[in-house]
Structure 1
Amino acid sequence: MNPLLRITGSLRPLALILILLMSTAAVPIPDSLGDGSPGDEVITKSSSNPDLEIAKQLHTTASELKNKMCQTQNLCDDSNEALAENNLNLPNITERDGCLTTGFNEETCLPRIVSGLQEFDTYLRYMETEMKDNKLQYLRMGTVQLIHKLKLLIKKTDAVPTPDPIVSKNLLSELQSLKAWSKNMALRLILWHYTRFMEGTIRVVRFLHTRSIAA
């Protein structure tokens, strides 16, 4: 059986990593991606929200890594079987998470986003060992920082599940056992899902920030 089908779901100081993240050339995030998420109708001329800026830079970094894979390895989103998501149980944001405009529920949405970002940690660790790109170090540490900041917004802290270290260790081991085509496909799918997850995160963070200003 293809190993992919079996898979379910010294660093620099953090301050320096975040500075490097913020210095990365920004890729604009559209205010609307047409999926009805909070913030789709909000256009902000400027932002003083550090959570939003971190999320944008994480999206930028992931997009740059994805584009690099496309250019150097011809692994692009529109290539054959590019969206075979079912091979990996990667985090995503769905309607039942309460993150869309209709039925937006902060008590379920924020914990889901934080939980999803925590799940990505193992995948990002795997990518660090396989791709040897400094941007992956920034990506993972920036994600850790965003998790910490978003947790502060959650009223019921026990709503966010604690990652099981044994499950994470087993997943990392399975990922590291992938060879050749399966490994390259996994790397591409991780980046593809991460950028999509971050797009949803950006819209929710923007919406919450705008709502707090209007209150």
Structure 2
Amino acid sequence: MEIIHSEVTVFGAHSLKCGLEGKDIGTRNGLYNFCSSSSAWPLVYLVITALLPLVSSAPTSTNYRSTHQTNGGFENVPNLLVMETGKLCTQICKTPNLCRTSIEHSLRVDLKLPEIKNIESGCLSTKFNKEKCLSKIYSDILKFQVYLDFLKESMPSSKNIIEFIQVKSISLADSVKNIVEIPSEDKEDSAPEIKVSDLHSEDPWNQNLTSYIILQSLNEYMEKAARALRYSVTVTK
């Protein structure tokens, strides 16, 4: 598996292109994203060590939702979701030999996870189309809900955080629907292509791997959605 690193500029923001076959682009905003494919693990280890007291003190009670508020407009919600999914990725990657394996790409395809990866999505800086892009984001967020339902079952100790992510993501979809007319075909396309029962495995390691791939995919999706939503407020179409 070849990992390609190069510096690019997307929507005027300095970003780091890092991913399988050079296709996944993730903005780091000054922080290391533990769901990314970055190979800078020595520095990441130091960052993790420094932040352990803060992570360990994160709220885990049923009040988790009320203690985490989003600053700014709805376009900032994806950044919050990136942060929360990143925490969960760090947690699940404590499982030995789980993360960054050679089977990640094929498993991601099998799971039919939503992606923003081509010009046709309307969400890339090349031929950006506000209505098309926001309609896709709306549809994809609804598709992600079945995967979040699975995570609540596969990661019961993190259920409060996952519920928080689910509530925030649905709120984001509602906000998107309020600013752009969603075509009827996109509403119909929002139905999940997979069931929760299809995601479960009797093997704990395989189940953890599925959970990790879902978290990684949602994390990367929200990074790209954040850029698209920020860009959408500057264009009229």
2:167 match: 141
What does residue 112 of structure 1 align with? 136
Does 2:81 align with 1:55? no
Structure 1: 5+ residue stretches without partners: 1-29, 41-46
Q: Following TM superposition, by how much is the alpha carbon of 1:184 offset from its aligned partner in structure 2, in angstroms? A: 1.6
Deviations 1:51-77 (A, max 9, x none): 12211111100111011111255532x
4+ runs deviating over 6 angstroms: none
Structure 1: how far apart are the matches of 2:202 and 2:138? 27
Cα drift, residue 193 of structure 1: 0.6
Matched-pair contact (CA < 8 Å) for 1:55–1:201: yes
Aligned counterpart in structure 2 of residue 102 of structure 1, from 126, 142, 150 = 126
Q: Which has the higher strand share?
A: 2
How many residue pairs are counted as aligned between the two chains? 172
Local SS of the residue matching 1:32 = strand
Residues 46-195 of structure 1 correspond to what in structure 2 (within 5 A)?
49-76=72-99, 78-84=100-106, 85-95=108-118, 96-132=120-156, 133=158, 134-158=160-184, 160-162=186-188, 163-164=190-191, 171-177=195-201, 179-195=203-219
Whether contact under 8 Å (1:66, 1:192) holds in the other structure is yes
CA distance in 2, matches of 1:188, 1:150: 27
The answer for unaligned runs of 5 or more in structure 2 is 1-12, 28-69
The question of whether the paired residues in 2 share the 8 Å contact of 1:49 and 1:209 is answered with no
- The aligned residue for residue 232 of structure 2 is 208
Inter-partner Cα distance in structure 2 for 1:49 and 1:203: 15
Amino acid at match of 2:105: L
Q: CA 1:209/1:48 → structure 2, altered by over 3 Å: closer, same or farther?
A: farther
**Quick check: 1:110–1:154 contact (8 Å CA) kept in 2?**
yes
Kindly provide the amino acid, as one letter, of the partner of residue 135 in structure 1: I
Conserved? CA contact 1:51–1:146, under 8 Å: yes
Identity among equivalent pairs (%): 25
The amino acid that maps onto 2:165 is L
Distance 1:130 1:173, change over 3 A: same
Task: Give the direction of change, closer, same or farther, for the CA distance of 1:128–1:113 in structure 2 (3 Å limit).
Answer: same
**TM-score (norm: length of structure 2):** 0.63
User: Normalising by the residue count of structure 1, what TM-score does the alignment of the two structures yield?
Assistant: 0.69
